[in-house]
Amino acid sequence: MLTPEGLPRDPYKQYHQWYSAQDAAHLIRKTQDAENIFRKTGITFAVYGHADSSEKLIPFDIIPRIISGREWRKLAQGIEQRVLALNAFLDDIYHKQEIIKAGRIPRELIEKNTAFLPEMIGFKPPGGVYTHIVGTDIVRTGEDQFFVLEDNARTPSGVSYMLENRETMMQMFPELFTLNKVQRVEDYPRLLRQSLASLAPPGCRGRPRVAVLTPGIYNSAYYEHSFLADQMGVELVEGSDLRVIDGRVKMRTTQGYEAIDVLYRRVDDDFLDPLTFRPDSALGIPGIMDVYRAGNITIANAPGTGISDDKAIYSYMPEIVEFYTGRKPLLENVPTWRCSEPDSLRYVLDHIGELVIKEVHGSGGYGMLVGPTASKKERAEFAEKLAAKPANYIAQPTLALSTVPIFVNKGIAPRHVDLRPYVLVSDKVKIIPGGLTRVALKEGSLVVNSSQGGGTKDTWVLED
């Protein structure tokens, strides 16, 4: 919010003036009001593996993160370049594999990767789009310096929090939206439905029928699945509601089975079709991959997209972007050591106390070591795992992440954040202005995941 000299930065000027006139007790009450809104609305998440498996409220901070229109344009250009490169990369590795032939990516990194699906080889999804919805995690390290932390191209979550955060802020502080010209995020559900419907399979007649496939009520993101289906005005379905009839995927209704054209699936690849992948899956639809390959349904995101957000592939993203766009990346990658390479492994083991080490297929802040904050015992135990299966890990330096203010009882305090903008891909790329700001609520912490004690805040992109 403030410059080193203690003056409000341009995007925060109006907010800072407003905040300075507020009574602290009033803002404390507003924080309690926000918690009550979230509780009544049912905005919760579950944490797997905890003894207390009850649904938890995601902590919400009432001070918005504010980004200028100029800063956003720079970010948006870099995100669009990256998303187009990811789609081109997926199309290439499932077809001609030119990037492998050119020696830019090792063949074994693709073919031995569990996220690579041979079933997708030679198949082009409707419209040629693989990643219909992308969540790109971005961190800021300086005034004009942004790094991409990772690309979420499988089933990126959290967009419901972005929407509810905005609605809560507008409900509690309507005057702030008069003082500040904030770009809209509320159109996301409508834009998502339009984007999905525009990529219905060629045989679709009339208005495409869209549905959201959820693993069910015990999934940690079930709130989001039901929220998005409701906001889009489409059906929320489980695998047991669907079956393949006459070469189409059909949904059970009170009028009998009716065909679905576009399935926004929030089920992992392995569980999507028990006839093709895991035979013990009760979450998917037997035969859906045959219908898909026959061109009779669109699955978003496409099966096999996980290879593009794999953390080992991430380290090659600068080469991937340049290979498919002919330009250097506009957004930087975090420097990454691939532990599968002996020299990198030696360096990582020698500097384990300085680095962040992540599982290649890990997510949610699990399976990682933050070297500077880990104990000597934790480092030693992790070094053993790393030495035993080096190909499972990558390592990165701990970045000097930017901080934003959060509201605490004593006023405001700085905390580290990241940003997940949401991108919709059809015949065009649409980036929602803002996204989900995740904040590490513990002082000094760099881990922003809600499952690890992080919270969220509203993200404002200002109009010029």
- Do both 393 and 274 map to the same domain? no
Compute the average pLDDT of residues 222-238: 95
pLDDT winner (highest mean) among 15-29, 88-102, 107-121, 436-450: 88-102
| Residues 172, 240 share a domain | yes
Looking at the predicted structure, is the pLDDT value of residue 426 above 70?
yes
Q: What is the pLDDT of residue 35?
A: 86
pLDDT in tens, 319-344: 999 999 999 999 999 999 999 899 99
pLDDT grade for 211, boundaries at 50, 70 and 90: very high
Q: Quote the DSSP letter at residue 179.
A: H
For residue 370, the surrounding DSSP H or E stretch is strand 369-370
**Is residue 319 domain-shared with residue 361, that is, in the same domain?**
no
Mind listing the pLDDT tens digit for each residue in 239-268?
A: 999 999 999 999 999 999 999 999 999 999
Residue with tokens 């992440």: 401
Q: Name every residue whose Cβ is closer than 8 Å to that of residue 109 and which is 6 or more positions away in sequence.
A: 312, 313, 316
Q: How confident is the model at residue 442 (pLDDT cuts 50, 70, 90)?
A: confident
pLDDT score recorded for residue 448: 75
Report the domain count for the chain: 2
| % the chain with pLDDT above 90 | 74
Task: Say how many residues make up the chain.
Answer: 464
Which of 397, 414, 446 terminates a domain? The answer is 397
Domain end among 397, 424, 450: 397
User: Residue 5: inside a domain, yes or no?
Assistant: no
Residue 346 belongs to a domain with what CATH number?
3.30.1490.270
Is the domain of 258 the same as that of 281?
Answer: yes
Is position 274 within any domain? Answer: yes
With tokens 């070591």, the residue in question is 369
Q: Are 127 and 189 within one domain?
A: yes
DSSP state of 341: S
Q: 94-144, pLDDT tens digit by residue?
A: 999 999 999 999 999 999 888 999 999 999 999 999 999 999 999 998 888
Indicate if 282 and 387 belong to the same structural domain. no
Residues 318, 413 within the same domain: yes
Do 262 and 365 belong to one domain?
no
**pLDDT, position 48:** 47
Least confident of 25-29, 56-60, 446-450: 446-450
DSSP letter at 462 equals B
pLDDT of residue 220: 82
Give pLDDT, residue 388.
93
Look over the chain and give the mean of its residue pLDDT values, rounded to a whole number: 91
Q: Give the mean model confidence (pLDDT) for residues 8-37.
A: 92
Please name the amino acid found at residue 253. Answer: T
Look at residue 451 and tell me whether its pLDDT is greater than 90. no
Under the banding of pLDDT at 50, 70 and 90, the label for residue 454 is: confident
Looking at residue 345, its pLDDT comes to 94
Location of structure tokens 């599968």 = 340
363 — pLDDT class (breaks 50, 70, 90) = low
- Shared domain check, 381 and 238: no
| Residue 43 in this model has a pLDDT that exceeds 80 | no
pLDDT of residue 40: 80
* 322 & 367 share domain: no
Assigned domain for 317 exists: yes
Omega within 30 of 0 (cis) for the link into 301: yes
The band of 410, judged by pLDDT with boundaries at 50, 70 and 90, is confident
Per-residue model confidence (pLDDT) at position 51: 47
Range of the domain at 404: 10-332+400-461
* 279-302 average pLDDT score: 96
User: Which residues fall within 8 angstroms of residue 426, CB to CB, at 6 or more apart?
Assistant: 127, 129, 132, 194, 195, 196, 198, 199
Residue 275 covered by a domain: yes
- CB contact set of 445 (below 8 Å; sequence gap of 6+): 373, 415, 416, 453
Same domain for 385 and 427?
no
Where a domain ends, among 349, 371, 397? 397
User: Is residue 401 scored above 60 in pLDDT?
Assistant: yes
Task: Give, in degrees to the nearest 5, the angle at Cα 75 between 62 and 338.
Answer: 100
Instruction: Please check whether residue 2 lies inside any domain of the structure.
Output: no
- Pairing type for strands 355-359 and 44-45 reads unpaired
Looking at the domain assignment, is residue 1 inside a domain?
no
Higher local confidence (pLDDT), 35 or 457: 457
Give how far the C-alpha of residue 175 lies from the chain's centroid of Cα atoms, to the nearest Å.
Answer: 31
> Is the pLDDT score of 42 beyond 80?
no
Q: Would you tell me how many other CB atoms lie within 10 Å of the CB of residue 160?
A: 22
Same domain, residue pair 245 and 343: no
Determine phi and psi for 253, rounding to 5 degrees.
-135, 175
- Residue 262: phi, psi to the nearest 5? -130, 125
pLDDT above 80 for 47: no
